[in-house]
Amino acid sequence: MKTIVGLLLVALIAAWYFMGTGVYNMAATEKHWPITEKLIEWVRINSIAARASELEIPAMDDTEIMMTGATHYDAMCTDCHLSPVQASTELSQGLYPQAPVFHLRQPLISPEDLQEQSKAYFWVIKNGIKMTAMPAWGLTHDDHTIWAMAFFVQRMGNMSANQYKELTHGSGDHPHTNKHHHEHKHELDIDLELELEHDRHDEHD
């Protein structure tokens, strides 16, 4: 009994030293030990699988996946996950953990594996992943859009630059490609206008 209490006390002091004195380095450039990385990965995979398994996969036709999925992916995800037309970005290089590059992944073959993967992708896109920079897009996007992105990401495996360009409507200057940025820009414009109006009123006061 005494030994157990003694050991617990030592563990507590070690934990306090580790967490409270700043000896632990939180820098993104300071990698975990390989064993810690494996442990985190194991926890992440099991946690996502447990939550994603309950999901119902909706039916969606190809045109819809490509229209909604590709457009949104191109507007919101490429800074981190890149695309067949973008090899690397300043943001993507600094991430730890690194964001997976979907177009370099081998597409899965078995229908069961594909279903499991689409559910896991949907769950991750909707809810994000703690402490990794992967955002929760479910706060701002409906399930339909998120499923379209999950299906699109699955289809990126081995995608060529030409295929990608065709799906996202070319070089990036097509209005559809930056639809999202446009929408957000409008919101910004409205905010700015309101603010200016507010200032004008203030001047009159």
Binding site for ligand HEC (CB under 6 A): 44, 73, 76-77, 79-81, 95, 97, 99-100, 120-121, 124-125, 129, 132-135, 137, 149, 153
Tokens coding 82: 């890149």
Least spacing, CB of residue 28 vs ligand HEC, in Å: 10
Least spacing, CB of residue 133 vs ligand HEC, in Å: 4
Measured from the CB atom, is 132 or 163 closer to ligand HEC? Answer: 132
Measured from the CB atom, is 14 or 104 closer to ligand HEC? Answer: 104
Q: Measured between alpha carbons, how far is 118 from 151 in angstroms, rounded to an integer?
A: 6
CA distances (Å), origin 78, targets 19, 73, 100, 116, 139: 35, 7, 11, 24, 19
Least spacing, CB of residue 177 vs ligand HEC, in Å: 14
Least spacing, CB of residue 31 vs ligand HEC, in Å: 13
Q: Measured between alpha carbons, how far is 131 from 126 in angstroms, rounded to an integer?
A: 15
Measured from the CB atom, is 133 or 174 closer to ligand HEC? Answer: 133
Measured from the CB atom, is 155 or 199 closer to ligand HEC? Answer: 155
CB contact at 8 A, 124 and 154:
no
CB atoms within 10 A of CB 44: 15
